[in-house]
A and B are shown apart, each in its own frame.
Chain A
């Protein structure tokens, strides 16, 4: 069974630029999460989708971050404009019932 796919693996951008990350969850998983992991910290939930609807975006900085999950499968997370403090690994995870499985993540460096 294929795992959670994410791209790109690495991205370097200048502050105030925009960036987008893509995630394809495990087939059949209705729930998709985006997490932000800053170096030395545990992952922090940004947004949760159930099929194509948003369940929880309480920790998403909505002035600069946006996310969508069209057709209830793939998802994109966008940052515009990026700040230096957005440098982190962005992890996508999917879940069928209770256990969540992570993709390899996208390491973002904002310079």
Chain B
């Protein structure tokens, strides 16, 4: 059974600090990895995608992927109160056919002013 594991938190980080969110997955056939942000009562919003080992940076966000360790992380630099949300890690086995996302339960992040 495919599983995606995240620490549910809450993870509390001071404003301006770096928030580090982690995710592990069990399906070695996973090829695409995503981070979604979900505010309370809202739908998931895609913030980062990563497909190959290493780091991918986009503004204050950096996604890191290590396929050998089956590990994905998201770093948020200069954390702002508006970053307070639940962050969902999602993985996908691509290559045609069934390719729906498998989500973790999410990490609740709180940025303290």
A binds B: yes
A-side interface residues toward B, CB under 8 Å?
31, 33, 40-45, 48, 55-56, 58, 89, 91, 98-105
- Residues facing A in B69-105 (CB within 8 A) are 88, 90, 92, 94, 97-105
CB < 8 Å neighbour of A43 from B42, B51, B98, B103 = B103
B22 sits at the interface (CB 8 A): no
Q: Which residue of A lies closest to B44 (CB)?
A: A102
A33 to chain B, nearest CB (A): 6
Cα distance A41–B102 in the bound complex, in angstroms: 12
Selected contact of A45 from candidates B36, B94, B97, B100, CB within 8 Å? B100
Bound CA span A91–B46, Å? 14
**A103 near B88: Cβ-Cβ < 8 Å:** no
Contact A103 B43 (CB under 8 A): yes
Interface CB pairs A-B, < 8 A, 6: A42-B103, A56-B98, A98-B49, A102-B36, A102-B43, A102-B44
With A41-B105, A42-B105 as contacts: A99 and B46 at CB distance below 8 Å: yes
Closest 10 CB pairs of A and B: A42-B103, A56-B98, A45-B100, A102-B43, A105-B43, A48-B100, A42-B105, A102-B44, A43-B103, A104-B43
With A48-B99, A56-B100 as given contacts, are A43 and B49 in contact (CB-CB < 8 Å)? no
A40 and B105 contacting across the interface, CB-CB below 8 Å = yes
Q: Closest CB of chain A to B82's CB: distance in Å?
A: 19
Rounded to whole angstroms, the CA-CA distance of A44 and B101 in the bound complex is 8
| A55 to B96 Cα, complex, angstroms | 10
Contact, CB under 8 Å: B45 / A99: no
Per the bound structure, the CA–CA distance linking A33 and B12 in Å amounts to 33
Q: Is the CB of B98 within 8 A of A91?
A: no
